[in-house]
Amino acid sequence: DQQVKQNSPSLSVQEGRISILNCDYTNSMFDYFLWYKKYPAEGPTFLISISSIKDKNEDGRFTVFLNKSAKHLSLHIVPSQPGDSAVYFCAASGFSGGYNKLIFGAGTRLAVHP
């Protein structure tokens, strides 16, 4: 049973435009969400996180939005750059599973082209 789902395996965006990556979760006990970015032959790199007490968190070009009622979060990258091309993983954690036990989605491959 996939508790964290990223339904789009891939996304292609033009440089300078907005990239929107989506993530859905099923476990209402999740209360902390993270986005990781992964380049080939490297481990995932932490990008941004959000607690369930917030609905938005920004860090430079990256903004994460959380809609608790819909059990949905999204990562916005504005403006998109070719260096953003990578696989993006959404992850969640919560008290029931243990806060440091991250549940990951399958990832979305983002390609930013000139």
Partner 1 sequence: EAGVTQSPTHLIKTRGQQATLRCSPISGHTSVYWYQQALGLGLQFLLWYDEGEERNRGNFPPRFSGRQFPNYSSELNVNALELEDSALYLCASSLISGGHTDTQYFGPGTRLTVL
The contact set with partner 1 (CB under 8 A) reads 4, 6, 32, 34, 36, 41-46, 49, 51, 89, 91, 93, 97-107
Cα 63–chain centre separation: 10
Shortest reach from residue 106's CB to partner 1, in Å: 4
- Show the tokens assigned to 19: 């990239």
Read out DSSP for 21-41?
EEEEE--TTEEEEEEEEE-TT
Shortest reach from residue 4's CB to partner 1, in Å: 7
Nearer to partner 1, 19 or 37 (CB): 37
Shortest reach from residue 74's CB to partner 1, in Å: 17
Conformational region of residue 106, where left means phi above 0, alpha means psi within -120 to 50, and beta covers everything else: alpha
Nearer to partner 1, 15 or 48 (CB): 48
